[in-house]
Chains A and B, each alone.
Chain A
Amino acid sequence: SQQGEEDPQALSIQEGENATMNCSYKTSINNLQWYRQNSGRGLVHLILIRSNEREKHSGRLRVTLDTSKKSSSLLITASRAADTASYFCATDAKMEGGSEKLVFGKGTKLTVNP
């Protein structure tokens, strides 16, 4: 897998259902962030979870981080049509050679049908 790779690439659900998106990465990280993008617009930050944290909540959002498996999940509960967007994970990754960089995945496109 690539650094910061989301799964699935696309997800279609009915309003009221829960949506789960996953992110896998390869290197050690300082933190992992989730962003949302409505079609063609700027990304909006949702949650930042640090490497020493396991779970974080914000409203209907729940993010988990498993550093042993190098993976994270974003759960949106009781989804609404307005949640339709693309969701990106970004890892603040420790790269070879000691450098650090924020790497974005290619995103999960979520469609919530009314």
Chain B
Amino acid sequence: EAQVTQNPRYLITVTGKKLTVTCSQNMNHEYMSWYRQDPGLGLRQIYYSMNVEVTDKGDVPEGYKVSRKEKRNFPLILESPSPNQTSLYFCASSFFRGETQYFGPGTRLLVL
């Protein structure tokens, strides 16, 4: 089944404890992206990747890192999480930038 998977789905952590949210797609998509969704603010792009080893900042990259060592994986790293990073995170992929995006199920993160 074509899909985007994210893990974990739910995470409670404390300020400063490094964490990684994994994202994987099995559709051979070139483009992958991370978004965060907050009430009243809609979806905001954190980072995106046009292809392997090519990543770039979105609208709200501060406090996040990403890597794209393999085409299928695009992990999101929070080196030192803070409470303002409490949010619902989505990974998405598409064949190319600007085309139909396929979203993962979301990761709900709470930083205490």
What residues of chain A have their CB less than 8 Å away from a CB belonging to chain B?
Answer: 30-31, 33, 35, 40-45, 48, 88, 90, 92, 100-102, 104-107
Task: Describe A's contact surface by its main secondary structure.
Answer: strand
What residues of chain B have their CB less than 8 Å away from a CB belonging to chain A?
Answer: 4, 33, 35, 40-43, 45, 88, 90, 92, 97-106, 108
Nearest CB to that of B90 among chain A residues?
A: A42
Question: Are B43 and A104 within 8 A (Cβ)?
Answer: yes
Question: Are A100 and B103 within 8 A (Cβ)?
Answer: no
Query: Nearest chain B CB to A85's CB is how many angstroms away?
Result: 13
9 extra interchain contacts, Cβ-Cβ under 8 A, other than A42-B90, A45-B102, A102-B98? A30-B98, A35-B101, A40-B106, A40-B108, A43-B43, A44-B103, A45-B100, A48-B100, A104-B42
- Complex Cα distance A106/B38, Å? 10
- Complex Cα distance A40/B88, Å? 8
> Which of B45, B99, B105 interacts with A41 by CB under 8 Å?
B105
